[in-house]
Each structure stands twice: as C-alpha cells, then as structure tokens.
Amino acid sequence: MIKKSLVWQLYPWFGLIIVFSVLFMGWYASGWIRDLYIQTTTSKIELNAKLAAQQIQPVIIQSPADIDSVVKQIASSSSNRITVMLPDGQVVADSDEDPVGMENHANRPEMQLALKGQVGTAIRYSSTLGKDLVYAAFPIRQDSNIIAVVRVATPLADIRSTLRGIFFHIALFGVIMMIVTVVLSYIVVRRISKPLARMEKAAKLLADGKFDTQIPVPATSELKALAHTLNAMSRNLSSRVDAITSQRNELEAVLSSMIEGVLVVDGEEKVVSINKAAADMFGIEADKAAGQVVQATIWNSELQQLIKSVLAEQKSMEREIVIYPGTKRYIVAHGTPLSRNDGVGAVIVLNDITRLKQLEDLRKDFVANVSHELKTPITSIKGFVETLKEGAVNDPETASRFLEIISRQANRLTAIIDDLLSLSKIEQEAENRQIILETINVADIVKNVIAACSPKAQEKNMTIRVWGGENTSAHINAQLLEQALINLVDNAIKYSDPGREIEIRFESMPDQVKIQVVDHGYGIASEHLDRIFERFYVADKARSRKLGGTGLGLAIVKHIVNAHGGKINLKSDLGKGSTFTITLPNSK
C-alpha cells in the first residue's frame, strides 16, 4: 500500500475548507449587509415621512390649496419623493409629478397600513415613475381622525448601486484572503510534517523500554514510528510519574500534618526539606530555607552540633535543645543518618516538650507546696501529742493549751484538704463542661455573701458597703460565684485593720457584668501581683499562717471566674489596699 505524505493528506482538505469558508462568509456577509442597508434606508425614510407629516399637517388643515407647492418645497432639499393622499386614495400633492394626472392610490399596501394608523412600508415597482422604490407612509391626524397620508419614497436603484460597490470590495477581499490562506496553510502543513520526524527521535530517547503498541497506527509514514514510540513512552513514563507523584504527595501530606518538626539535610549540611512545624519552631519560612546551609538558616548551635555529629558518626543521636524564637521552648531533637543517591544525609525529628516541661514544673511545685503545707500542721500536732504523752497531760493548764493548738492545726489541715478538693472539683467540672449556668440577679448573690461574712466583719468592727443596681443579672453558677466572692471578702477582712471599710461594687455594661471587691487594708507589693493567683502562693507568709490562710483561696477564685468564661484583675498598693475586679459575660 502506498503511504501518503502528511502534507498531501492534510493540504487538500485545508484548501477545500478555506475556499468553502471564504465563499460562505462572502455570501452570508453580502446578504446581511444588503438586509442591513435596506433596513437602515427604510428606517430613514420612515423618519422622513414622520417629519414631513408634521410639516404638512397644519397646511392641509388651514390651506389645502397650497399643499402641492409646500410638498415640492419640502422635497427640494432632499432626494426623496413625497406624496400626499386623502383617505380615499386621491393624490393631492406630489413632489415629482402633477397630482391631477396621477391614479388613485387607495390600493397601495403602504397606504392601507397607514389608514390603519400604522407606519406603512413597501418595496415595489412604481408605475408612475417606472422604477423600483422603497416606500414609507405615515398618517396625518386631526384630533383622532386620519385626514391624509404622507408617503416618502426613494429609488431602490440608488441602494443597489451602493450595494454593488460594497459587494465588489467583499469579493475582492475574499479572493485575496483565499489566496493568502491557501498559501499559508500549505506552509503550515509542511512545517508540521518536518518536526514530527524529530519528535520521533526525542520520544525514543524518553522511552526506557519496549512495549506493545496501544495507540492506533495511522497511515502516514511520519506518524507511524511516532505512534509506536508514544505507546512505549506513555506506559513507562505514566507509571513512573504516577508513582513518584503519589509518593511525593503522601510524603508532603504526612510531613505537613505532623506536629513534630522534620528537617532533612544532605552531606554538606544544606537543607533538603523542612516541614511547616519545624519552620514555625525556628521562626523561618520553609520555602526560603530549602537549599541553604543550616548555619545560615537556623541559628541554634546545639542543633547544628547535633547535625554535625550525626553526619560524622553515622549513627542515631538524641539531644535536648532550647530555642528562643520569641518565648523559651524546649525541644527534643532526634537525628538519624540518611542514605541518599548523591551521598549521605540526616533526618532530624523535633518534638516540642515545652508544655510537658511546664506541667512537670507545676507538678513539682504543687507537690512541694502541698507537702510543705500539710507537713507543717502535722509536725505541730505530732510534737504536741508526744509532749502530752511524756507527762504534760498531767498538767491541766498545759494540756488544755496544747490541745487547743492541736485543734487549731487540725482545723488548718482540714481547711487545706477541703480547699484542694474544692479546687480539683472546679477544675474537673469546668473541663467536662458540667458547670450549670443560669441567669441570676447579682444583687441576691451579694446579699448571701454579706450574710456569710458579716460575723467576722463585726468581730473587727468593719463595715461592708454595697454599690450596685438591684436588676443587675449575669449568666452564672450562683454557688460558685458566691464562694468566689466570700473568699475575696474573707481575705479583705483578714488583711485589713479593725474599723476599716470593705466595698462590694457591681454594674451591668453592654456586653459584660463587672463585680469589684475593694478593701483599704495592708495591700500587696507589686512583685507579688503576677503570682498571687497561683496555688499556695502567699505574699506575707507569716501573717497568712497566723490568720489561718491556706494559700488556695485566690486560686479557687481564679478557677471559678475562668469556668464562667470571665476574667479577674488585681490592683493593689502596699499599705493602701487592694481592688479585685471580676468581669463576666452579660446575660443579655
């Protein structure tokens, strides 16, 4: 079978399509232009008819005898023919002919449409002038009656003459375009056939194996070899690219979703890859770090030393490092050697243990504080019990005094345990969202607080004053908020001299309710303000122990406020007093 060249398979079809397209476009454009031109001419003479009717109306009403001379005068300034006819078809004026000798126009189509109140148009042969005309007729009214019809006409020959000129230019342009496109198409087809041979060679170089063909082999000699090559290349490259893409996407998804930082470096300590978590740890941009040496990107000597050691010794290592991208953070870095096609490398996995460190420190502090606070009363109780056992019990006065101390220390021990249990319960209920909140009047809570704290205040001759509206409400747990306010008022009584005044203020604002407990007592030094709400933290340990404080009261207050979604602030001046401000979300 004779194999046809690609040029001679495509070029004849291209030529036929181009010739047909140009002929069709020329035919379609000619018809469209002709219709558009006639439509435009018709619209123009319709407008002329309307304008002529406006000029002729007063003449035909006031002086009908002058109508013919007026029509000839109006038509003298244009190339259009103007005719005026009565409703019965009689011609009373004409710009080109004597109206007396003209036949009746009642049967003209444009005349009939105008008598119906419409603008009548028509294209037909004029027996009077002996040529084709385009007509437009417009009715002239007096009140609501049609008294005459004005008709404007223009020769169709003028339109055809104009259109012939347009059609000639379209045909000339079409022939030129046809010749140009046919030549260009031949050049394009020739240019397509030559690169295909080069594409065959390139495709063979891209394909690494020999496979059965799946692409249908065309009859063209140039594409036959290319089809075989593309079959092999598509199977081989597709499988490899899909596998590589899948592996890369999976790796990127895993790395980006990890909370651990991952850093990959090559044998020259250049960053090959770094995930978002690691970049965030060191405050750098992952895209900019790739390809840079570690020393120029991550300024942490401990991490740099770990990378050097892993690369040098080719074994896994682990080290705890500290970084300062803003706040102090503790990181456990685990380095593992990595075998690469271009040599060795290392993978560093970074685990942020800052939170664990903080929790461990809190646990140590808590255990130490609890041990100390529990050990003090227990040691005291044990000492006095041993003294009593050694004989002091036989002295009634001494025994009574010792037993009073033992009772006081036991009460202190009970208070510490009760506060610890209360604090644990509040934390657990807040974490599990078990605290029930209701819209309650704050004034009622304050009344209960005053009733509970008044006996202690009266013992020190102190007054508790209340400032606030009776209708102030908030979304709260009444029992917990009452406990928080009792703790604050009780502290104000303990740490104020006798005769002082304590104020409880509360007010409702657009988005929150504010409650304040104000005292004029000893106050708190500024260095203690940041830690005053911590468990067992006491600003004046001697005075607190003397007054029976546990060091947990303000911690309980803070946890209650947090459980309500609120905030607590403290302002205090040493020797002048303290103001505790609680803000809670408004029930509205």
pLDDT in tens, 263-311: 888 888 888 888 888 888 888 887 777 888 888 888 888 888 888 888 8
Rank 205-219, 363-377, 391-405 by mean pLDDT and report only the highest.
391-405
Which pLDDT does position 372 carry in this prediction?
56
Which pLDDT does position 213 carry in this prediction?
45
CA angle 330, 335, 337 (to 5 degrees): 170
Q: Is the pLDDT of residue 111 over 80?
A: yes
- 34 close to 163: Cβ distance less than 8 angstroms: yes
Which pLDDT does position 128 carry in this prediction?
63
Q: Is the pLDDT of residue 396 over 70?
A: yes
Q: What is the mean predicted confidence (pLDDT) over 40-58?
A: 81
pLDDT in tens, 534-570: 766 666 655 555 555 566 778 878 888 888 788 888 8
Which pLDDT does position 376 carry in this prediction?
62
Rank 211-220, 316-325, 377-386, 499-508 by mean pLDDT and report only the highest.
499-508
Which pLDDT does position 413 carry in this prediction?
67
Binned at pLDDT 50, 70 and 90, residue 1 comes out as: very low
Q: Is the pLDDT of residue 455 over 80?
A: yes
Phi/psi of residue 143, each to 5°? 60, -120
Distances (CA, A) of 212 to 218, 235, 505: 16, 10, 90
Instruction: Map out the domains of the chain with their CATH numbers.
Output: 41-155 (3.30.450.20), 259-356 (3.30.450.20), 435-585 (3.30.565.10)
Which pLDDT does position 454 carry in this prediction?
87
Q: Is the pLDDT of residue 587 over 70?
A: no
Q: Is the pLDDT of residue 2 over 50?
A: no
Which pLDDT does position 265 carry in this prediction?
86
Q: What is the mean predicted confidence (pLDDT) over 423-428?
A: 65
Instruction: State the amino acid at position 100 in one-letter form.
Output: V
pLDDT in tens, 75-97: 887 778 888 888 888 888 888 88
Q: CB-based burial of residue 412 (10 Å sphere; 0-12 exposed, 13-18 middle, 19+ buried)? A: buried
Q: Report the SS3 class of residue 567.
A: strand
CA dist., res. 16 & res. 14, Å (int): 6
Q: What is the largest CA-CA distance in the chain?
A: 163
The number of beta carbons lying within 10 Å of the beta carbon of residue 100 is 9
CA dist., res. 106 & res. 91, Å (int): 9
Q: What is the DSSP string of 182-196?
A: HHHHHHHHHHHHHHH
Which pLDDT does position 281 carry in this prediction?
82
> Which tokens is 212 given?
């059965």
Which range among 207-216, 354-363, 370-379 shows the weakest confidence by mean pLDDT?
207-216
pTM of the model: 0.42
Q: CB-based burial of residue 12 (10 Å sphere; 0-12 exposed, 13-18 middle, 19+ buried)? A: exposed
Mean pLDDT for the chain overall: 76
Residue 483, CA atoms < 13 Å, CB-side half-sphere: 20
Q: Is the pLDDT of residue 123 over 60?
A: yes
- Kind and range of the H or E run holding 320: strand 317-323
Which range among 17-26, 256-265, 312-321 shows the weakest confidence by mean pLDDT?
17-26
- 548 close to 412: Cβ distance less than 8 angstroms: yes
Q: What is the mean predicted confidence (pLDDT) over 121-140?
A: 77
- 263 close to 271: Cβ distance less than 8 angstroms: yes
Which pLDDT does position 431 carry in this prediction?
61
- 126 close to 133: Cβ distance less than 8 angstroms: yes
Which pLDDT does position 508 carry in this prediction?
84
Q: What is the mean predicted confidence (pLDDT) over 165-175?
A: 71
CA dist., res. 294 & res. 263, Å (int): 10
- 548 close to 489: Cβ distance less than 8 angstroms: no
Which pLDDT does position 409 carry in this prediction?
66
**Rg, C-alpha atoms of the chain:** 53
> Which tokens is 340 given?
């690469």
- 349 close to 334: Cβ distance less than 8 angstroms: yes
pLDDT in tens, 189-206: 666 666 565 556 656 655
Q: What is the DSSP string of 80-120?
A: -EEEEE-TTS-EEEESSS-GGGSPP-TT-HHHHHHHTTS-E
pLDDT in tens, 56-74: 888 888 887 888 888 888 8
Q: Is the pLDDT of residue 515 over 80?
A: yes
